[in-house]
């Protein structure tokens, strides 16, 4: 239905500029995923404050994404829309990050309470950061849908183990059922999004999934550390892209074709091989996260971040050396309207 609607309203991603897909493909995949998630949540869960906050915030994120797909919003307007969507989620019931704890503190330590303004600012930064992280990652068919499905499964596993992971409370149904609803929606969408995709997630999907993963990390037992461990590669890819673009005198809101998955393709990996490899990396990181506790998890994240940064540098060096001069010039050009890469673009996942 979402595909038919996208065709009807001409919400189509056409292969121009820096885009790597070969045929015009409908967008609005985010509408399909959100609709399935919202329906499953409404059927299986009471309308508690976090559920309402996630549903209203998710709807706002989807609306923002559809508007961007159709109107190609200016980057700063798009960023303001992300902040607004995160604000809707917070005000509608999601709440804010109330406390933070040190990496080596006890699991039952309540953490350090945050003042209201800092709590709000940190929550907005986290949710907007997650939306942009997912958007940056969304560059290959099936990549984001599959990885976010893995993250949703991990969050559900954390929520189903109160004796180990959430010592101060019993199992809350929403801790398990919210990520399972997201997992089901993504698994239902993935066959249509697999290479060659019949429909793209588009900006609406990237915005909704980023906000959802960020929100579930706030309200569930897994917390932010789990999201940072399992998504260490896309998180650092975003950071590396910002640094790379700033060093070249370009705005970090412009797109390019120098993300880690682009480099993997340039080094000879197939589209499907690249996606499956990324799935495997996330699966290993998820298993590592389930095994580790807070102190070891912090150490693991530092080590993984260092290793990932080293790999990024190696990929930049090796892939850059193998590119033709014309290709290098193309990489320097700003993203075309509707490009499938960057925080303001319409990736193909």
Is the pTM here over 0.85, yes or no?
Answer: no
Q: How far apart are CA 305 and CA 255, in angstroms?
A: 23
Residues pairing with 113 in the sheet: 99
Quote the pLDDT of residue 2. Answer: 85
Q: What is the pLDDT of residue 284?
A: 86
Taking the C-alpha atoms of residue 310 and residue 307, their distance in angstroms, rounded to an integer, is 5
Domain ranges of the chain: 2-332
What's the pLDDT score for residue 332?
A: 45
Burial category of 321 from C-beta neighbours within 10 Å (exposed 0-12, middle 13-18, buried 19 and up):
exposed
Percent over 70 (pLDDT), the chain? 72
Name 112's bridge partners: 100
Task: Tell me how many helices (H) and strands (E) the chain has.
Answer: 15, 4
Burial class (CB in 10 A: 0-12, 13-18, 19+), 31: buried
What is the DSSP pairing of strand 99-100 with strand 25-26? unpaired
- What's the confidence (pLDDT) of residue 264? 83
Q: Which parts of the chain register pLDDT below 50?
A: 104-108, 163-171, 323-348
Question: Cα angle at 171 between 169 and 175, to 5 degrees?
Answer: 105
Q: What is the pLDDT of residue 200?
A: 93
């Amino acid at each position: 239905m979402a595909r038919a609607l996208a065709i009807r309203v001409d919400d189509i991603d056409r292969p121009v500029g820096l885009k790597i897909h070969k045929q015009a493909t409908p967008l609005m995949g985010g509408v399909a995923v959100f609709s399935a998630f919202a329906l499953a949540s409404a059927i299986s869960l009471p309308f508690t404050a976090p559920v309402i906050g996630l549903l209203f915030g998710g709807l706002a994120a989807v609306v923002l994404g559809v508007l961007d797909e159709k109107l190609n919003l200016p980057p700063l307007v798009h960023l303001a829309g992300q902040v607004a969507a995160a604000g809707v989620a917070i005000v509608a019931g999601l709440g804010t990050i109330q406390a933070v704890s040190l990496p080596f503190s006890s699991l039952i330590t309540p953490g350090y309470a945050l003042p209201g303004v800092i709590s709000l600012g940190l929550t907005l930064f986290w949710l907007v950061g997650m939306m942009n992280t997912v958007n940056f990652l969304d560059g290959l068919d099936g990549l984001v849908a599959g990885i976010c499905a893995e993250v949703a499964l991990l969050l559900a596993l954390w929520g189903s183990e109160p004796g180990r992971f959430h010592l101060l409370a019993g199992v809350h149904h929403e801790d398990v059922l919210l990520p399972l609803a997201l997992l089901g929606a993504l698994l239902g969408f993935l066959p249509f999004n697999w290479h060659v995709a019949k429909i793209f997630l588009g900006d609406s999907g990237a915005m909704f999934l980023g906000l959802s993963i960020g929100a579930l990390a706030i309200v569930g037992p897994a917390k932010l550390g789990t999201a940072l461990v399992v998504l260490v590669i896309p998180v650092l890819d975003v950071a590396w892209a910002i640094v790379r673009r700033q060093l070249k005198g370009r705005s970090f809101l412009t797109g390019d074709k120098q993300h880690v998955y682009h480099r993997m393709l340039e080094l000879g990996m197939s589209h499907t091989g690249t996606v499956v490899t990324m799935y495997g990396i996330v699966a290993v990181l998820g298993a590592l996260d389930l095994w580790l506790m807070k102190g070891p998890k912090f150490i693991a994240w530092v080590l993984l971040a260092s290793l990932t940064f080293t790999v990024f540098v190696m990929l930049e060096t090796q892939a850059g050396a193998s590119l033709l001069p014309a290709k290098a010039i193309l990489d320097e050009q700003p993203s075309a309207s509707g490009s499938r890469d960057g925080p303001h673009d319409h990736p193909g996942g």
